[in-house]
Structure 1
Amino acid sequence: MMGDGVKQILAKPIQLADQVTKLAGDAHTSRQECLELKAKTEKLAALLRQAARAELYERPATRIMQDTELVLGKALGLACKCRAHGLMRRVFTIIPATAFAKMSTQLDNSIADVSWLLRISTAGADDDQFLGLPPIAQNEPILFLIWDHISNLHTGSVDVRSDSAAALASLARDNLHYAKLIIEEDGVGALLRLVKEGNVDGQENAARALGFLGRDWESVDRMLNAGVCTVLTKLLKDGGPMRAQAAAAWAVAELAGNHFACQELFAQNNVIRLLVGHLAFETVQEHSKYSIIPASKAMSIHSVVVATTANKPGFDDDRSSSSSGGQFRHHPNALSQIHSVIESTMASAKSSKAAAAAATATNGAVPPSKPILSSGFGTKGRDSEDPATKAEMKAMAAKALWQLAKNNLAICKSITESRALLCFAVLLEKGSGEVRYNSTMALMEIARVAEDNPDLRRSAFKPTSPAAKAVVDQLLRIVDKGVLDELLIPSITALGCLSRTFRATETRIIGPLVRLLDEREAIVSRESVLALTKFASTDNFLRVEHSKAIIEAGGAKHLVQLVYLGEQLQIEALILLCHIALNVPDSEDLAQAGVPAVLAWASKQGHMVQDFRVDSLLPTAKAKMELYQSRGSR
């Protein structure tokens, strides 16, 4: 903030001020006006010398000194005219009557500018004094307001710094140009310092300001170079006030959503584990408090749960009987069984801790074969936080995980290898408001990545995983309810992306999606069509079984109507109908629903056949249906 470069630009104004003072004191004409000019110049020179001894805020100092130098140059010219020697030179030296009045006003403005600069740059200034804006700020008041607040972040009291951070957050939120100005005027560094050193309000306001500043790719890139990832991660880790940590999690979400490079940088700072820890706190009993780390190999709570669950009655482990490599069976009491598994696992962990403590008391050392219980992140004082703050923390942690997971396989693996899936399932069941929405969006992004990555599908959504079963149960519950809210579309999308993880016997997914084809809202019907297409497409090993399930659920008649009357949905509905016709061309239900006729009609519609997807599917589906249906008629 304060730089030695300012000292160099002060030299010329001080030199000019001394020259004006000397010439004005020796004036031969307009002596009274020159004495006033001298007095004001001396006052300005004193302020400039005071500035030379101070640590000035470099950004406004440069502009103010440039303007002051221009004013003093004009004053020097005016003083020179008043020292004209000889009668003829005095006669022909014309000084307008308004010249001194104009110069007096300019000097007053320069005095006010330098005084303002000294006040905002001086530590220990009167925090209750409203400094206002200097005269130089008349043409661009917002810039000088920003300078004032940034200066307060460096030199103000704890409360003043917090208020200035809140003001910068408000400016950045309301206007992208203001956000860019704050970054250009070195506001990021001051805000990061406040995140590390401020009180609760200061940390929260600074974190929110950082989130609002990261509005575009370029701005976030400059913030990354300033070390924003490390500072926000440290706040999430240190167990500080939950309000401030929630703001930090929100800022992580904002930055990650606007710059893909944030994902890797935050992951390198181990932010995923911290966010999952915040998400798991009080979501599942004792779930986030310990990591069990044997001496030989680390084992996560998630792996302990899965290993324990595999031996529990009520959970099937039919990996050998699965033909698709990873599907689900329906367990109505899945969540209650998961909770009992967690509680028993944590009871075992507590017993291990008690045994280790007893061994320490007896032998003076922990036996090397016992697991070491280590804190995942700071938990001091978290139990005393109010419910609203806890809910906000979970919502922001879920939002950050959602943004970090977008199109990032490594982060999705890190999330699913933790206890996050189980937490999302519980929050979908028991949470409300923003935490449910953010959890659903996070699951949708993870499912999108898993759709294109078999390894992630097999590891995160394998059939024996109780967390994955719980997730599917909650997504299906939302879809089955069929209420158009902010959760419905991402839930439909997630189920579609997971289509290759379901068994042939898992028909409970198809029915709710088919029912939504008759939804009045086009966006719901469209998402349902797209999801069902993933069940019936050639990429799905069980496409024939799923296509039969769609037909049995009454999907054919809905799709025929959408092809005829669906407007924006015509192409998508036709593509799904073509896939079903290719998979089960001999279906009597398809014939009764009029599928052959609608395929023949669509082949004559120019706007449909021009779509390259339809062009590659429709002729084959139409020919195959005609072949099998004609055989059936014979």
Structure 2
Amino acid sequence: MDDLKQILARPIQLAEQVIKWSDEAYTFRQECMELKAKVERLAGLLRQAARADLYERPARRIFDDTEKALDKAMALVDKCRAHGVVRRVFTIIPAGSFKKMAYQLDNSIGDLSWLLRVSSSASDDDDFDAHIGLPPIAQNEPILFLIWEQIAVLYTGNLDARADAAASLVSLARDNDRYSKLIIEEDGVPPLLRLVKEGKLEGQENAALAIGLLGRDPECVEQMVHAGACTAFAKVLKEGPMKVQAMVAWAVSELAANHPKCQDAFAQHNVIRFLVGHLAFETVQEHSKYAVTSSKMSLHSVVMDKKNSTRRAFVPDLMDAGHPNGHLSQSKNEMQHLVQSTMVAKPNGSSVKGIGSNGGVVSSKQHNSSLSGTTTKGREFEDPETKAYMKANAAKALWHLAKGNAAICKSITESRALLCFAVLLEKGEGDVQYNSAMALMEICSVAEQNSDLRRSAFKPTSPAARAVVDQLLRVVDKAEYDDLLIPCIISLGCLSRTFRATETRIIGPLVKLLDEREADVSREAALSLTKFACTENYLHVDHSKAIISAGGAKHLVQLVYFSEQVVQLAALTLVCYIAHNVPDSEELAQAEILTVLEWASKQAFMIQDQLIENLLPEAKIRLELYQSRGAKGYH
């Protein structure tokens, strides 16, 4: 604002000079007096602006245009002064110059009047709803004037006015990307973030929604992060109203989805911690990673204490793992047992509430806010829809924050978030369930590439990891074509290197999906099974035998011959790995896999695939070595 006052100094000086020289006019005196009247009014508005609290972006442009108009007015008036007979004779002033100059001064007066009115109306309850009018500077771009008006209110208005202005910006940001960029360019983000932290409930929600809508590309997100979005969001997630926290969680998910590089910035401001706290609220008891009081027993210690007594429930005898139906029938009881075993004992004996339809699973009457770092007082009295919305958006934010980020995935898996996701995948509904599945998929995808994360988060003896696998397998085994199926298929494939050789219950349900009518399901099942059978997997031979035993060969033959191209390529890749790993298999001979490979080697689009080009020749050679005679016998 001090810069604006310095900028105003020269226009005010110019106005005074024009007024003085107008009095000295020798020619066109009447016209100079008319200009003088306009400049006097303009000088009064400039002095008023110097005392006002103004919105800087339009103010700079208006002051700049006003200064240019006064420069021209001074040059015009100067020509009318008494400079001697010779100069007067040779000075030519076009007839339309004064009319044009008057028009420019009127525009400057209109612009300054609008700037002062929009600033005063922003803080005036009675006049706020009055239409301010379109300033001359915005005639060529009316939408800019509307954006300026709303941002000016955000800077100087009362809380109710600012809430309405934020709602207006939400409507503009929804319209198109250009409006969003204009809002950001015209400094709309800082007052929105201030409203997120300081406003009333409606204003905070509107401001958070606007921020989420504005973050449509990496450049926009980067500007918002630099403007303090992480700090503002962390403050709300720690202690704001739940409705606002839910909207902020959604905004975090939007920014992280559109610019993954902001993930670490949010993590540095403890956003991961707060989101996991919201996810765990009424799902499982608060997570051990964030416990700060020694008087409370942590979940981790409870799980460890009960580990020996519950091992049979959590980790069935691996020799029985080959019976998926028997194991899945115990899944529900195991999950309930796991959740109950992670609850901290209630000193007052308060009862545990039943499972709700809103995705909140385990609810207790007492919650210790120190455990999660978030304020939990009163949250249990929120309506079920708000709780479900909060949980869904917390899961969505964690999904996008975890994507491709090993450090954040490690932070999430070291908390009780894995268990929360498993519970919500089983008991949640709608977006809560879907976002949990997607978050697990992203974490599993990172774990596939990161051995440290894989070993720490998904070791077979981990109860939480076991619960996750049980729920992924439950969805896959049910095989309903919904939004959950494909993320769960992908997750199981990503975890392929965490399963022991005797853990054959995973293979069967995936093989059944090869016979699925939906092409994308068959393709993802083939891709996941490929991760079991590929040579990078230490147990690729055992897994390949399990795929064959589950009837995979006949399904794969059908897919290679008759499916869509993308499915054919995925199925053929899997066939090549299996043929390479167990070329002496009688089932492969009966399915005439060698004939399939010979046919595939003649299909141009198949051999153009780089991976198949490398795998197919070796697979054929190995099959010919073991099965050439057998294959001929089946013709």
TM-score normalized with structure 2 length: 0.87
In structure 1, what is the equivalent of residue 609 of structure 2? 611
Q: What per-residue deviation string (whole Å, max 9, x for no partner) do you get for residues 161-194 of structure 1?
A: 1122222233334333333333333222212211
Where do 1:223-234 residues align within 5 Å?
223-234=224-235
Q: Identity, % of aligned pairs?
A: 64
Structure 2 CA distance for aligned equivalents of residues 607 and 338 of structure 1: 46
Q: CA deviation at 1:480?
A: 2.6
* Residue 224 of structure 2 corresponds to residue 219 of structure 1: no
Structure 1 CA distance for aligned equivalents of residues 402 and 413 of structure 2: 10
In structure 2, what is the equivalent of residue 258 of structure 1? 258
3-state DSSP class of the match of 1:540? coil
| Letter aligned with residue 556 of structure 2 | L
* Residue 68 of structure 2 corresponds to residue 66 of structure 1: no
> Does the Cα contact within 8 Å between 1:475 and 1:495 map onto a contact in 2?
yes
Q: What per-residue deviation string (whole Å, max 9, x for no partner) do you get for residues 99-152 of structure 1?
A: 444333322221111112223344734433332331111123333332222221
Structure 1 CA distance for aligned equivalents of residues 292 and 12 of structure 2: 68
Q: What per-residue deviation string (whole Å, max 9, x for no partner) do you get for residues 247-303 of structure 1?
A: 11112112222333322222222222211111122223x45699655649x974245
How many residue pairs end up in the alignment? 608
Counterpart pick for 1:458 among 455, 460, 472: 455
* Residue 272 of structure 2 corresponds to residue 281 of structure 1: no
Q: CA deviation at 1:81?
A: 4.6
In structure 1, what is the equivalent of residue 360 of structure 2? none
> Does the Cα contact within 8 Å between 1:246 and 1:392 map onto a contact in 2?
yes
Name the CA shift for 1:289/1:153 in 2 (closer, same or farther; >3 Å).
farther
Q: What per-residue deviation string (whole Å, max 9, x for no partner) do you get for residues 404-427 of structure 1?
A: 111122211221121112211221
Q: CA deviation at 1:61?
A: 1.7
* Residue 268 of structure 2 corresponds to residue 268 of structure 1: yes
* Residue 559 of structure 2 corresponds to residue 562 of structure 1: yes
Structure 2 CA distance for aligned equivalents of residues 625 and 36 of structure 1: 101
> Does the Cα contact within 8 Å between 1:328 and 1:506 map onto a contact in 2?
no
> Does the Cα contact within 8 Å between 1:334 and 1:469 map onto a contact in 2?
no
Q: CA deviation at 1:576?
A: 0.6
Q: CA deviation at 1:98?
A: 4.3
3-state DSSP class of the match of 1:315? helix
Where do 1:132-211 residues align within 5 Å?
132-211=133-212
Moved more, 590-599 or 510-519: 510-519
Structure 1 CA distance for aligned equivalents of residues 289 and 453 of structure 2: 25
> Does the Cα contact within 8 Å between 1:302 and 1:418 map onto a contact in 2?
no
Q: CA deviation at 1:524?
A: 1.8
Counterpart pick for 1:598 among 579, 596, 599: 596
Counterpart pick for 1:374 among 370, 377, 386: 370
In structure 2, what is the equivalent of residue 124 of structure 1? 123
In structure 1, what is the equivalent of residue 403 of structure 2? 406
Counterpart pick for 2:436 among 435, 439, 446: 439
Structure 1 CA distance for aligned equivalents of residues 293 and 73 of structure 2: 80
In structure 2, what is the equivalent of residue 538 of structure 1? 535
Q: What per-residue deviation string (whole Å, max 9, x for no partner) do you get for residues 382-402 of structure 1?
A: 122222211111111001110
Counterpart pick for 2:47 among 20, 24, 49: 49
- Gap regions ≥5 residues in structure 1: 354-371
3-state DSSP class of the match of 2:347? helix
> Does the Cα contact within 8 Å between 1:302 and 1:417 map onto a contact in 2?
no
> Does the Cα contact within 8 Å between 1:310 and 1:316 map onto a contact in 2?
no
> Does the Cα contact within 8 Å between 2:302 and 2:341 map onto a contact in 1?
no
In structure 1, what is the equivalent of residue 503 of structure 2? 506
| Letter aligned with residue 533 of structure 1 | T
Moved more, 402-411 or 462-471: 462-471
Q: What per-residue deviation string (whole Å, max 9, x for no partner) do you get for residues 480-530 of structure 1?
A: 333333222211111111122234343332233222223333222211110
In structure 2, what is the equivalent of residue 360 of structure 1? none
Q: CA deviation at 1:89?
A: 7.3
* Residue 574 of structure 2 corresponds to residue 573 of structure 1: no
Counterpart pick for 2:445 among 445, 448, 462: 448
Q: CA deviation at 1:533?
A: 0.5
Structure 2 CA distance for aligned equivalents of residues 73 and 8 of structure 1: 17
Moved more, 226-235 or 78-87: 78-87
- Gap regions ≥5 residues in structure 2: 351-367
Q: What per-residue deviation string (whole Å, max 9, x for no partner) do you get for residues 343-385 of structure 1?
A: 45535353799xxxxxxxxxxxxxxxxxx98342101221222
Q: What per-residue deviation string (whole Å, max 9, x for no partner) do you get for residues 32-51 of structure 1?
A: 44433222221111111122
In structure 2, what is the equivalent of residue 494 of structure 1? 491
Q: In angstroms, what is the RMSD of aligned CA positions?
A: 3.2
| Letter aligned with residue 589 of structure 1 | E
3-state DSSP class of the match of 1:586? coil
In structure 2, what is the equivalent of residue 362 of structure 1? none
Moved more, 474-483 or 146-155: 474-483
